[in-house]
Copies of this chain bind each other. A is one copy, B any other.
Amino acid sequence: MSITAGDIKELREQTGVGMMDCKKALTEADGDIKKALEVLRKKGLAMAAKRSSRTASEGLITSYIHMNKLGVLLEVNCETDFVAKTDDFQEFVKDVAMHIAAANPAYVRREEIPAEVVEKEKEIFASQITNKPAQAVEKILEGKIEKFYSESCLLDQVFVKDEEQKKTINDLLIEKVAKLGENIVINRFARFQLGQK
């Protein structure tokens, strides 16, 4: 692992976060700038939750309605109204709303899943695995849980408009953070389908 002053500078320029925090994030991410961005993003999330910083107090509320039978309401935050008004940010918000309509996530992020839901899923998965050695069971279980996350969490879902079907919503978000130089937080969404509660 090597962290250069250039890396720290780049991360600082991309995020607007202080030098020390950038260095810490790079250390945590073994020098990987993309991972460090995610580390910083997560810290941004934590701050937003405490409402104790200016991070993610601006942004957009948007909706996507399909045929009057399916609707999505979405809040995506950024740090300044200036960024909220850029085409890049507005396109991102529109894409995410459309994605939610199509892909039907249950949560924004893993941290939101109640512990009992994860436990329940694990129980069900475990009961489906038979005649396997204990080590294999552990591994299969892990794989199934990862799959559950990638199906139910917006940030882990593959972006429906990605032609290669590889890029997750989180990847898309990190791209935008890097491009716009501000923390971006997908705060919350609601998705209503007619007659389904």
List residues of chain A with CB under 8 Å of any chain B CB: 49, 51, 56-63, 65, 68-75, 77, 84, 187-188, 190, 192-195, 197
User: A51 — which chain B residues lie within 8 A by C-beta?
Assistant: 195
Query: How many subunits of this chain does the assembly comprise?
Result: 2
- With contact pairs A77-B195, A188-B192 given, residues A71 and B61 touching in the complex (Cβ less than 8 Å): yes
Task: Decide: A68 and B73 in contact? CB cutoff 8 A.
Answer: no
**Roughly how many angstroms separate A105 CA and B51 CA in the complex, as a whole number?**
23
Distance to closest chain B CB from A93 (angstroms): 9
**Roughly how many angstroms separate A75 CA and B195 CA in the complex, as a whole number?**
9
Task: Decide: B190 and A59 in contact? CB cutoff 8 A.
Answer: no
User: A194 — which chain B residues lie within 8 A by C-beta?
Assistant: 57-61, 75, 77
User: A49 — which chain B residues lie within 8 A by C-beta?
Assistant: 197
